[in-house]
Structure 1
Amino acid sequence: MLVLSAVGLIVGSEVSERHRLAMDLNERTTYLDSLIQNSPMGIVVLDRQGSVELANSAFERLFQYDRHEFTSIDMANVGTPDDEARDSAQLIPQIFAGNALHRTVRKRRKDGQVLDLALRGVPLAVDGEIRGAYLIYEDVSEQIRAGEAQRRHAESLDRLVKELELRTKQMTSLNEMGSLLACSGTVKEASAVVANSVPGLFPEAPSGALYMFKSSRDLIEAAVRWGKRDVLAPTFPPDACWSLRRGQPHWSGYPGNGIACQHLTKTSTTECLCVPMVAQGNTVGVLHLDFESASKLRRDSGTESCRDSQQQLAISAASQIALSLASLQLRETLREQAIRDPLTRLFNRRFLEESLERELQVAGRKKQSIAVLFLDLDHFKRFNDTFGHEAGDMVLQSLADLFRNFFRATDICCRYGGEEFAIILPESSSQDAAIRADALRSEVKSLRLQYKKQTLGQLTLSAGVAAFPEHGSTSLDLLNIADQCLYQSKARGRDVVTVALPQNV
């Protein structure tokens, strides 16, 4: 009886212990299940075949799948966008291979919305054997979008900073070009400044040209070209450029604008910009820019903005160049008027006297001789009385043309007054000058001129020659002596050349 009671107590104790353990296990299971079900993150447990064994409510809400649909879901590819299918298919096998996983994936919900999810996956191992996988999904779409927005904002700020730096550099280059243009003494010097400065202002346009109107205004001529000069026309009529026709910048060669300037060569396949150069209401010429590659204008989405920026800079550069060129042209015109005879376009008496002083100084330093010719058209008053002053003007102009072709480029031909001319011959002796004067006399005598279909009479020329240092040491001495020799030629019957005697004779 006592034995039976002891056995009963032992059995009862074991049953009570088992019941307690069962209760404890049930409490833990309930607690863990509560943790999983109440977690704000989507949790799913896979068995060793990869099928869904457990999923919480957050997972259901995240993917919008009902619990009864889990049995048919392939978690390796569930909600995976097509462009990420290959990478996603490798994630679950990695976990079952015993590797913990933590990365961001993109998944498409049942309603089609694509989410950015933070995935944490760990293998479930029992006694060293992988029995399944435990996956946690957290929706980080907002964080990703915020990060993307922040990145775009940072990129935008970076672009703005770079653009400001570029604008500052461009303005500095523009001001530097303006300073150099202001110091230029001639149109040729200013053109060289433009050719050197503009490529730095427009790195995307390594080729270009500065075109200017010729004095006749019926032709545009390249004052300077840079880059690929063979694709830039040297001259063209004004109506061949649309920017001159319209009086505003014109693009050629980019999509959406099929109207190209006619002065572009057939080999040109790039985008070109022509900007009229206008100063004080007067069109001086055209600034032409040849952009090497259209893609360089499309490096960002703001293609039109980039093109507009280039155009505004080109307008500023063209305006500055135009003002400088107009000023230089006016200065050169005034200088030409000051030193040129308006009828013959030969140098005038004032320029003769200044040049002779300068040439005498050079000749003195170099121990060289210099000769002066005085020329006079014989019986010119009688010629005017016979044929009229207009015919006389034509004769003087014809003589001036003859002088320009007959004498050297270094010789200085001047109209001294009326029908008298003076020629400075650097590095020439009196003998050389006499030979040249006699040859010129023969040339003039052989001229056969017509005016209004009327043949004019024969022309003759008298000449006087004086030289430094043989006949005088100052400009006044040489001019007076050459003039006296000219009068001696007149006294000898005209159409002759008289050379001054040496001072010691």
Structure 2
Amino acid sequence: MIKTERKILFWSFLAALFLWCTDAFVDAFAFKQGTFLDELLFDVSSHELYFRSFFAICFIIFGLVVSRFMSKHSVAEEILKKNTAAIETSMDGVAIYDSRDVYQYANQSYAQINGYDSPNEVMGKTCIHIYGDKEYERMQQKVVPLLKKNGRWRGELVARRKNGSSYIQEASISMLEDGGRVCIVRDITWRKRSEDRLQRSERFLNTIFNSIRDPFCILDNEFRIIRVNEAYAQLKNKAFSDLIGSRCFEALEGKKDICEACVVNKTFQAGDPFAKDKLVTLPDGTPVWVEIYTYPILDEGGRVSHVIEYTRDVTDRKKSEEEKRRLIDRLEYLSRTDALTGLINRRALTDSLTYEMDRAKRYGSGLSLILCDIDNFKEINDNYGHDMGDRALQMLSGTLKSMLRRTDIAGRYGGDEFMIILPETAAGGAESLADKLLSEIRKSDLRFDDGKQVSLSMSIGIACMTGEEETPDSLVKRADAALYTSKQGGRDRVSTMKMEKEKLPPG
């Protein structure tokens, strides 16, 4: 195109030069009347000179105008070719239809989107062939008025392919000056289906999410709450808007940094689930125990991107566990305690004696053992009844409790027999305590409802641990022997059994 412009300009100048020089050439060369320069410049009249100049300038201007026009035309033609090539190779469908909705142009993509092999199959058809009666009517009622008002419209339309199947297209339509329209479309059927599936999945998950009665939330790796259910908002006494997007330690705890022992942080750090129990206070002031579970959500690289926090009210479980613990403690207490006197029973006494003897051997400290029983207890039961005998046992146990040290251990060994374990106590200390017990019991009388009284007394036997070879059984036997000695000696007295030295064989 540029070469053509140059040719036009060249021939215009050449024509002007020819017009100017024609007579001079003829006179100078043909008729030989003067030189060419004389004929060109001096041997002409002024009118002829003006005439030649005028036409020469006209030829030059004409050449310039034509050259300029051809230049603009060539640029426009190049732009049009590029635009046409871009439209033809576009993956979006492009079509132009006139004011009667008859297609005047369609690119290959438009034809293929609508199920046609070639744009020629679309040319001459009306929009109703592409969109169908129902959608075309909707376009006339809703799309065309907006086009006339705004000059353009963008939205979704339901189109019909050549085979009759329908699809969803995203369309952008612009008005032309002659009333026609340019339409650019894209098939978004699969995208819409994906969006619909995603929305259904989202609704499904939302239904499940909100149907969970326990508090439930999801946090990102900046500890921002991105999702909660109604139960979680109620537990925290917060609105959804106050929770979503907020950092948990700021919105819930009023802190500027991660809470100590935060299981969410542990899950982010280790990538493993964690759980812990926590006592929280409900909005109404009710304290409840909750168990907090955390589970990691991993990204494609295996890193923890989010954490699920699941909270369950375990107050009832905690109460059950506490009741169970109390029951176990109670059963343990009952299994080791005499119900009548409140002192520990024979089983517990045996365990305690074994433990205290081992400790005494380990540290080299002394230990004394007292066995005692109520004198003539059988006669009390026979003459005054078992209730009075029980009262006598309770009276003795009360005296023991009031007189013993915190480290001493007293219990009912069996029947009317009681055992007292005295850690870190030698024979002298045990005998002193026994004398005090005798004196205190002598002051105690059983009183009947009718005012009658029965005096009490008891016999006591003492044995002291003598060495490493001593066993609980041997120590009890020696204390029992001492008790028997007190009984045989007239009761109401204290006897101490000492280990006899072994006789050496004659040398």
Class of the TM-score when normalised by the shorter of the 2 chains: 0.3 to 0.5
TM-score (norm 1): 0.43
Task: Name which one, 1 or 2, has greater alpha-carbon Rg.
Answer: 2
TM-score (norm 2): 0.43
